Amino acid sequence: MKTGLVLCRTGMGSSMMLRIKLDQVIAENKFPIELSHDVMSGANSYNVDLIITMKDLVSEFKDSGVYVIGVLDIMDKKYMKAELVKFFESTT
C-alpha cells in the first residue's frame, strides 16, 4: 500500500476538494494508496510516496525526492487517473 499527501497553499479547501476527487478515482480503479491532506507548511510532517498538489506548486517539491503530481483542474478525473497510473508504473 502506497501513501499520498494532497497539499494546497493555504488550507482554503482546495486540498479537500482535490482529495475527494482523488478518492473517487482511487476507488473506481482500486489503486492501492491511502491519502492524507494538509497545507504546504505541514508537508514535512509526513513520510509519503506521493505528493499531489496544484500545478503551480510542483516546483516547491523538486528536491524532495518524492514523486509529485501537479493538477491543473481539480475536476479532471481522467487526468488524475492517468497520472496515478504513471506513478504506479514508476514504482514497480
Angle between helices 14-29 and 77-90 (to 10 degrees): 70
pTM for the whole structure: 0.92
**At 36, which amino acid appears?**
S
Per-10-residue mean pLDDT, the chain, length 92: 92 84 97 94 91 93 92 95 97 81
Number of residues that this document lists for the chain: 92
Domain ranges of the chain: 2-90
Measured at the alpha carbon of residue 8, what is the angle toward residues 3 and 14, in degrees to the nearest 5? 100
Strand partners, 14: none
Task: Write the CATH number of the domain with boundaries 2-90.
Answer: 3.40.50.2300
82 three-class SS: helix
Q: Cα separation of 73 and 91, whole Å? A: 25
pLDDT in tens, 44-60: 899 999 999 999 999 99
If you average pLDDT over every residue of the chain, what do you get?
93
